Chain A
Amino acid sequence: MRDKVMSIDDVIAQIEDGMTVGIGGWGSRRKPMALVRAILRSDLKDLTIVSYAGPDVGLLLQAGKAKRLVFAFCTLDSIPLEPLFQKARQGATAEFTEWDEGMFQTGLRAAAQRVPFLPMRAGLGSAVLENDPSLKTVTSPYADGPGDYPVLVAVPALKLDVALVHMNRADEHGSGQYLGPDPYFDDLFCMAADKAFVSCEQIIDTAGLTIDAALQTLLLNRTMVTGVVETPNGAHFTDCTPTYARDEKFQKAYATAAKDDEAWTAFETRFLSGDESTYQAAVRAFAEEIA
């Protein structure tokens, strides 16, 4: 079996300007933040980002990396509104496609199943169909009762060039394991993409994956995965339970800085101007400072 272990820089080298990048996790939970931070440092531009959005999206919008965003919400969970996303929406600094969060899952599933669309009820009657005029409806070829051929939303496949997800553990061949309560949609993101990259807290021996965890925690199999990179604390400051909880104090500092240009520049200089190890060192210093 192939060794798929690579570095953060190797992953970024596989992404090209203008690509559609799906990011796993949900809100401020189990986001592949080390990979997102690497995109911020890169020369990449004009990306389309597809995400159940949290600070990953706020940061990419603020850095001007995202030309377009496909979203259903953007939140920091414990802080309901993502300030950098709000700023980008209110300034119209990128293009936006807003779908219902169930449509979003259906679009990923269609891409994962290699069909052009899947039908669903969500979206009918709402502003979603008006604000994304590319969305079409489809008339069921089957009756749902005498003479009733329902008109449903034809949710188009959300095809991705690249998926980025973060797991608690993986092996070197690409088997990925989440140990928290919720898989989110990370398997769908990987299957919807041409190439899927998994960052994880720890790369361990294959035999170790199921020693202390249920079989069902193995969310990703290796056919879905292109590369694996070990990034300890790599979901920081989002939640990566049970390995670590969200860093609420850091998130508060992020959200506060994001509301003021000068404070944001200082935050960027302190935390986002170096590589991942520089970031992690700055985070440790921050934790000691406020302790």
Chain B
Amino acid sequence: MTDVTRAEICAIAIADCFAEDGEIMGSPMGLLPQLGARLAKLTSNPDLMLTDGEARILAGVPPLGSSTEIVEGWMPFRLVLESTVPYGKRHVMMGATQIDREGNQNISAIGPWAKPDRQLLGVRGAPGNTVNNRTSYWVPKHSTRVFVEQVDIVSGVGRTRAEAAGPAATKFHDVHRVVTDLGVFDFNGPGNTMQFLSVHPGVTVADVQAASGFEIHAPAEVPETRQPTTEELILIREMLDPRLLRDREVPPVVTG
């Protein structure tokens, strides 16, 4: 099992985000997050509960692009919003068009809210997710356009803003990690700012800083993101993503 690709490293790093969650619902938004969460369910966290992204809770772990599976429960949108999110037993991994140093995220629009330069999805459930659930972010292409000094429209709430809003906003606030195609980060840097947890094999701290619109706090030693085990590689390649959908989101960079 040589030639581990960047997408596979990302899948492992995402799976590790869900490893300690126990019996909660994972809400991975997007392709690599789905791959990572399914991998976690098959390895580090068999108690993880996953849906087909619509109304069905799936008992087993189907390959990407498939939801043919035994159904173990019902999760329509209303139950996500009125039960699962406020109930709290959930870890959501959202995408992000922008993320800033303090961990605020934007998926709503680019530019001024009143007349945006580019309208995107809207805030969706990001405000509620971030004050209720453990939240991580996935960024398939780490760049200065995504990692900005200040996001345009705060959709997902970072720690400093949550603290300013009061104890009801911080009680369950838990922005966990950011995984990108270059590395893994959290917001436990000075003053709850973004810091390095690891860089992917073949990536340097300087590469990441150059691709970011603000300086990410770098501890004296930044480790390399771990390599997949043989079991994990087999699960990714043979079972979860035999069609290599992962390479469309993160083009292959052979690292090992």
Contact = CB atoms under 8 A, between A and B. Distances in A.
9 contacts: A72-B124, A86-B119, A89-B109, A100-B125, A100-B127, A101-B125, A124-B166, A126-B123, A150-B167
B115 interface: yes
B122 A72 contact: yes
A47 B81 CA distance: 27
A125 B119 contact: no
Interface of A: 26, 52, 71-75, 80-81, 85-86, 89-92, 98-103, 105-106, 109, 120-128, 131, 144, 148, 150-152, 181-185
B89 interface: no
Interface string B231-253: 00000000000000000000000
A72 B125 contact: yes
Interface of B: 54-56, 74, 76-78, 81-82, 85-86, 108-109, 113-128, 130-132, 153-157, 161-162, 164-169, 171-172
Contacts of B122: 71-74, 98
Given A85-B119, A89-B109, A127-B108, A105 B76 contact: no
Contacts of B74: 181
Residue of A121, A181, A182 with highest tally of chain B CB at under 10 A: A121
B157 A101 contact: no
Nearest to A148: B167
A106 B54 CA distance: 20
A218 B188 CA distance: 49
A195 to B, nearest CB: 23
Nearest to B85: A102
B154 A125 contact: yes
Contacts of B114: 92
Contact of B119 (A52, A81, A144): A81
Given A122-B131, A125-B131, A148-B167, A105 B78 contact: yes
